Amino acid sequence: MKKPLASVTRYGFYEKRVIRIGKRSRKAWVKSRRFLSGFAAAKQGVVAVIVALTMIPLLLATGVSIDVGRAYLVKQRLLSTTDAAGLAIAASIKTDSTSDELQAVLDNFLTANFPSGSIGTLSSSSYTYDSSTVSVSAAVAVETTFMKLIFVETLTVNASSQVTRQEDNLEVVLVLDNSGSMSGSKMTALKSAANSLLDTLFGSDATSSQVKIGLVPFSNNVNIGAANTGYVSDTSIYDWGTDTWKGCVEAEVAGNEDTNDNFTGPWTPFYWEDDSNNNWYYSGSSHISSSRGPNLYCPDAEITPLTNVKATLTAAVDAMVANGGTHINWGAIWGWRVISPSEPFTEGAAYGTADSTKAVIILTDGANTAYDFVYDAFGYPSEERLGSGINTATEVADEIDIRLATICQNMKTAGVVCQRRSKSSPLGRSKTSPLDVKQSLVLRVVPVVHRRDPR
């Protein structure tokens, strides 16, 4: 007896239906289910398609990041270049500078950093300037590699820099060795160096609104100027002879007044008294000089106070003559007095004036010297004016070495740069470091980077 294809069992409000199928139908159903299950499990082909579709934008994004990274490096280099070019332009600006000259300065920096065929091609550059700022802009085209796939051939990077021109006022006193050892080629070299410095500071300008220069020629004496009789105590001693006071004064050593700038006079006029009745011979050597008179070894060249007129300075330099001994300290202290705002020379700005630099530069060929038989700004060594027991030429030379060190240290404390240039070793006799010598002294406009375009 065949069983029915379906049976129904009732349980209260619901019923249970059981459908029975044949063996053939059952086998077909099982095969279908197995086929569908296997198809659902076959994921390999789908993943490969998805990965293939995803790799294209990933590779493109990687390539874009490489191109953009290269462009970023170029921009940093371009910023550094515009900074340097702006500084160079600011330092090159003079009253007679042309736009072509300044553009050439910019172009030189840009082409040096971005030569043809390098990481970028310079596409444009420009600059503007006024009395206080210099602005520089430039653009560089960077060739792409991967972005060409999306039809982007180049990336253009831009940079701009702004430089503030800080025009400080500058006061410089040149203390120039006019001693006898500077004769001949040395004096020629000294004049050349001094005039070269004047050319650097003034350029082609006859005057300067920011620069003042003073000159102190020295030997073992300093000539403050015969017209400055108001700064000496009395010149009547010259009334007894045929000579007149030439302009040299003697050192005032009491209270260390020869090592600072607080002594404002009056000074004792230099007067080499007649010593013809002694010192005919000394240590077996003759010290008779063909020169004579109370102004003996007083330099012809007078102090030139601070001035902004180039012609006045060049004329004074060219008129210098070598003669006499070497007291560098005496030249240095008068260099300080010239640059000081107080008497006897008042052309200098007050200490601490904003945007103002003071510098004393000493040009000499050697060390301090003294002679037992020579009367100079410190008298004869035997007079012991520099201190008890200091009564020989060697002791005097050692003492003025120390005083030179003190002068320059005191200048430094007051805010004045003290710099010495010499062809020989500085003050070999003294172990005291005599000077604050700087490797370089900025004597021109000092521009600083004020702002860069961060974009």
pLDDT of residue 439: 27
User: Residues of the chain whose pLDDT is less than 70?
Assistant: 1-49, 51, 95, 166-167, 235-242, 255, 274-293, 421-455
Radius of gyration of the chain (CA): 44
- 54: which DSSP letter? H
**Strand, helix or coil for residue 175:** strand
Assess contact for 392 and 369: CB atoms under 8 A: no
- Ramachandran bin of 294, using left for φ above 0, alpha for ψ from -120 to 50, beta for the remaining angles: alpha
Rounded to whole angstroms, what are the CA distances from 242 to 238, 292, 294, 433?
Answer: 7, 12, 10, 45
Assess contact for 361 and 336: CB atoms under 8 A: no
Question: Looking at the DSSP assignment, which residues form a beta bridge with residue 128?
Answer: 135
Assess contact for 309 and 206: CB atoms under 8 A: yes
pLDDT of residue 391: 93
- Backbone dihedral angles phi then psi of residue 6, each to the nearest 5 degrees: -150, 150
Could you tell me where the DSSP H helices lie in 10-149? Answer: 23-41, 44-92, 99-113
Alpha carbon distance 300, 190 (integer Å):
17
Which residues touch 110 (CB under 8 Å, ≥6 apart)? 81, 85, 122, 125, 138
